[in-house]
């Protein structure tokens, strides 16, 4: 989820949990409402501090993003450290214990927000690096963000009442439940495709897509073959394709087709040219490519560059391929002419994060 939405959600939850007249500890000063909200805001932004891993390299960041800073087991430690920090910058006017609750709530709602996106969280780090995800929300969802903003505006309009913040959180949960129903519709479409095409032991993944909550990418994986469909669940009949001269977002939206069009495409992890398959497999399994293999969930060959200088096999993850845009996080494994070893190569993409 985008950093601003994370931070705003922390402010909203802190406001919903705050009772202005409640003194948390006898003899201590009460943390003002504005500071509780500010603490929730800052704490909800904190887990993405793992962005500093980009200073090492992009693959280190990709492999450890949403790792220890997003762990439920480490949440109390992060909350304690943040509480100590906020107390110190207030010149100890407020005891660190006053900051623990809003800091904990901010981190918790950040974890919840990322859990319902596609990337996956190491919820039990440092004891496990297994990732968990219930992909319901695209990383940038204007409706999700708008609900939070409306709740904060209403809370600002009625500062003595927390009911507005509570209602906004209820609406937000209702919106997530609505997305879950759409997710289940997409899963059912995938099951029907598996049944119709007799695909035994196929694995289903359904991912939210940009521009609309009704846009979903269905990925059915069977061994090294992918069956892909970009679906618009809102459309029950065909809609016209965007013309080539239309603006980018229109062309992107038009790629998501109604179920009735049977918009399925087949792709192979190592490409369609059997002459290159043994070499591509060798490159894929080489130790030099291990950092990328650790990151990718749905690897697929983008292209092969074969010239007098050597050969490169370029891969990307289907999670990060969207209509009309080049894939993000493209990496190649290359072998120069006259050399026997492979090396990892990064190809910069359209966005800074690439």
| Confidence band of 347 (pLDDT split at 50, 70, 90) | confident
pLDDT at 103: 97
Residue 244's pLDDT is 54
Could you read off the pLDDT of 203-233 as tens digits, one per residue? 999 999 999 999 999 999 999 999 999 999 9
CB 90 within 8 A of CB 24: no
* Mode of pairing for the β-strands spanning 264-268 and 299-307: unpaired
Average pLDDT over residues 25-54: 87
Q: What is the pLDDT of residue 20?
A: 56
Burial class (CB in 10 A: 0-12, 13-18, 19+), 309: exposed
pLDDT at 273 over 50: yes
Give alpha helix (H) positions in the chain.
3-17, 33-45, 58-64, 75-89, 97-115, 142-157, 163-197, 248-255, 277-285, 290-295
Please state the rounded mean pLDDT for residues 248-270: 91
pLDDT tens digit sequence for 226-240: 999 999 998 765 666
Cβ distance 257 to 263 under 8 Å? yes
pLDDT > 70: what percent of the chain?
A: 93
Q: What CA–CA distance (Å, rounded) separates 182 from 234?
A: 10
Measured distance CA(299)–CA(289) in Å, rounded: 12
Q: Sheet containing 343-347: which strands, arranged edge to edge?
A: 299-307, 310-317, 330-336, 343-347
Q: How far apart are CA 28 and CA 253, in angstroms?
A: 55
319 has a pLDDT exceeding 70: yes
Average pLDDT over all residues of the chain: 91
| Residue 23 in this model has a pLDDT that exceeds 50 | no
> Tokens at residue 179, please?
């997305």
- pTM of the full predicted structure? 0.90
Tell me how far CA of residue 122 lies from CA of 39, 118, 290, in angstroms.
24, 13, 19
d(CA 312, CA 318): 19
Name which of 84-98, 103-117, 142-156, 290-304 the model is least confident about: 84-98
Question: How far, in Å, CA of 171 to CA of 39, rounded?
Answer: 23
* Secondary structure (DSSP) of 242-265: PPTTS-HHHHHHHHSB-GGG--EE
According to the model, what pLDDT value does residue 317 have?
Answer: 96
Instruction: Provide mean pLDDT across the span 257-286.
Output: 91
Does residue 198 register a pLDDT over 80?
Answer: yes
Of all helices (H) and strands (E), which one includes residue 206?
A: strand 203-208
Greater confidence (307 vs 343) lies with 343
The residues, any chain, with a CB within 8 Å of residue 141's CB and separated by 6 or more, are 1, 5, 208, 213
Calculate the CA 257 to chain-centre distance.
23
DSSP characters over 72-115: TTTHHHHHHHHHHHHHHHTTTSS-THHHHHHHHHHHHHHHHHHH
Residue-wise pLDDT tens digits, 58-94: 999 999 999 999 999 999 999 999 999 999 998 878 8
Better pLDDT: 236 or 16: 16
Q: Contact 70/133 with Cβ under 8 angstroms? A: no
Number of residues that make up the chain: 354
In which band, very low, low, confident or very high, does the pLDDT at 159 lie, cut at 50, 70 and 90? confident
**pLDDT at residue 26 tops 50:** no
Stretch 242-251: mean pLDDT: 75
Q: What was the pLDDT predicted at 213?
A: 96
Q: Is the pLDDT of residue 337 over 60?
A: yes
For residues 268 and 225, the answer to whether their CB atoms sit within 8 Å is: yes
> Quick one: pLDDT at residue 123?
97
Report helix, strand or coil for 212: coil
Which pLDDT score, from 0 to 100, does residue 24 have? 44
pLDDT for the residue 298:
96
Could you give the 3-state DSSP secondary structure of residue 236? coil
For residue 31, name the pLDDT band (cuts at 50, 70, 90). confident
**Per residue in 87-127, pLDDT tens?**
999 887 889 999 999 999 999 999 999 999 999 999 999 99
């Amino acid at each position: 989820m985008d950093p601003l939405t994370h931070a705003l959600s922390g402010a909203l939850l802190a406001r919903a949990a705050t009772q202005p007249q409640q003194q948390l500890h006898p003899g201590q000063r009460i943390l003002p409402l504005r500071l509780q909200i500010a603490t929730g805001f800052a704490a909800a932004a904190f887990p993405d501090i793992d962005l500093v891993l980009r200073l090492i390299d992009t693959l280190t960041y990709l492999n450890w993003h949403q790792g220890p800073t997003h762990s439920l087991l480490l949440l109390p430690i992060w909350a304690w450290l943040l509480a100590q920090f906020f107390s110190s910058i207030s010149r100890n006017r407020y005891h660190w214990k006053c900051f623990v609750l809003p800091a904990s709530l901010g981190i918790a709602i950040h974890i919840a927000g990322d859990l319902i996106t596609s990337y996956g969280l190491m919820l039990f780090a440092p004891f496990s690096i297994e990732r968990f995800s219930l992909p319901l929300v695209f990383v940038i969802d204007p409706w999700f963000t708008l609900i939070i903003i409306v709740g904060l505006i209403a809370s600002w309009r009625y500062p003595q009442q927390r009911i507005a913040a509570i209602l906004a959180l209820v609406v937000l949960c209702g919106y997530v439940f609505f997305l879950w129903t759409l997710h289940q519709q997409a899963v059912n479409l995938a099951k029907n495709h598996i049944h119709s095409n007799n695909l035994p032991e196929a694995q289903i993944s359904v991912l939210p897509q940009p521009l609309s909550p009704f846009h979903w990418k269905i990925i059915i994986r069977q061994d090294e073959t992918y069956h892909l469909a970009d679906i618009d669940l809102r459309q029950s009949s065909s809609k016209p394709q965007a013309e080539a001269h239309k603006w980018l977002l229109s062309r992107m939206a038009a790629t998501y087709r109604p179920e009735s069009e049977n918009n399925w495409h087949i792709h192979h992890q190592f490409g369609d040219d059997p002459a290159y398959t043994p070499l591509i497999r060798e490159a894929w399994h080489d130790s030099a490519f291990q950092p990328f293999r650790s990151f990718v969930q749905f690897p697929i060959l983008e292209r092969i560059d074969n010239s007098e200088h050597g050969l490169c096999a370029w891969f990307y993850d289907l999670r990060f391929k969207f209509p009309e845009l080049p894939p993000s996080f493209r990496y190649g494994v290359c072998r120069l002419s006259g050399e026997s070893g492979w090396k990892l190569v990064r190809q910069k993409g359209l966005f800074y994060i690439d």
